[in-house]
Amino acid sequence: MANREIAPGIFLLGVRGKFAASPGQFYMLRAWELDPPLFRPMSVFALEEEAISFLYEVRGRGTGILSRLSPGEELLLLGPLGRGWDPPARPLALVAGGTGIAPIHFAAQIYGGDAFLGFRGKPYLVESFADWCRAVHVASETGEGGTKGLVTEIFRPEGYRTCFACGPEGMLRELYRLCSEAGVPLFVSVEERMACGLGACLGCAILTSRGPRRVCADGPVFPAEELWGDG
C-alpha cells in the first residue's frame, strides 16, 4: 500500500493485491476502529493485474486518516460495489472535473475515448490519460496547464454517440444541457454520503424521475435524464 500526494490535498492511494471492478464501481475504505463510524466510498481510479488505486481529496477525518497511512498499516476494502458504466456506443467522450477524474480514468482504461478534463488550478494525472485516450483536452480555471476556463467550455458533444462524466453537480448539469441539445446520451457518476454501501440503509438515496434510487446499489452511475430530465 502506498499513498502519494499528487496535488495539494489530493492523494493517490495504491494497494497491492488481486482485485476486481468494472468502470464506475467503487470500494468502501476504512483504516480505523469506531470513529468515524462509516467507511469512505471511493471510485476505482485504476485496476491492474496485481494492484488497485483510488484518488481522493482530504475533506474530513476519514480522508485525513487515509492520507496519513503508511505502507504496512491496515486498510479494509469492501467491494467492488455499485453499478458502473456499461460498454458505450462509440465514439465516446469522457468528461471530468477535479477528483471526478477518478472513475473517468478507469473508464478510459477499459473503454478508451476522448478525454476532456477540468481543474481548478494546476492539472494532475493528465499524462496517465494519454495512455488510454485518443485525445486529451485540458482546461483549468487559472489557465495553468491547459485552456483557461471550465471543462464545459472546451467540450462540444457533437460527433459523439455517448458521454460519460463525473465531477461537481454544476458541471454535470451544464454538461447535461449541452448533451441533450446535441442528442448525446449522458451517463454520470454521482456522489452521496453512504452508510452500508450495500443498498440496505437507503442513506444515499436520491430522488429521480424513476422514484428514489440508491446511489450505492442502483448507481453510482445514472443516465443524466433520470436525474435532471423533465420526466
Partner 1 sequence: MADLSVRIGEVALKNPVIAASGTFGFGAEYAPIFDPGLLGGICSKGITREPREGNPPPRLWETPCGLLNSIGLENPGIEAFVREVLPRMLELGTVVIVNIWGREPEEYAYMAERLDMTEAHVIELNLSCPNVPGAGLPGANPEKVAAIVAAARAACGKPLWAKLPPEGDLIGAARAAAEAGASAVTVANTFRGMAIDIRSHRPVFANVIGGLSGPAIKPLVLRAVYEVAKEVGIPVIGCGGIVGWEDAVEFIMAGAHAVQIGTGSFIDPLCIPKVIAGLGAFLEREGIGSLEEVRGCAH
Residue numbers at the binding site for partner 1 (CB under 8 A)? 34-39, 78, 192-196, 198-207, 211-212, 217
* Residue with grid cell 500500500, as numbered in its chain: 1
**Minimum gap (Å) between residue 44 Cβ and partner 1:** 18
Quote helix, strand, coil % in the chain, to nearest 5: 20, 35, 45
Among residues 185 and 199, whose Cβ is nearest to partner 1?
199
In the bound complex, what is the minimum distance in angstroms from residue 220's beta carbon to partner 1? Answer: 13
DSSP 8-state class, residue 183: T
Cβ 101 to partner 1 shortest distance, Å? 23
Task: Write out the E strands in the chain.
Answer: 2-7, 10-16, 26-30, 40-48, 51-57, 76-81, 92-97, 114-119, 135-140, 147-148, 162-166, 186-189, 205-208, 211-214, 221-223
Would you say 112 or 199 has its CB closer to partner 1? 199
The Cα–Cα gap between 28 and 42 comes to 6
Give 142 or 209: the residue with its C-beta nearer to partner 1: 209
Helix (H, G, I), strand (E, B) or coil at 42: strand
Q: Supply the minimum distance, in Å, between the C-beta of residue 200 and partner 1.
A: 3
* Half-sphere exposure in the Cβ direction for 143 (13 Å, CA): 1
Q: Measured from the CB of residue 205, what is the shortest distance to partner 1 in angstroms?
A: 6
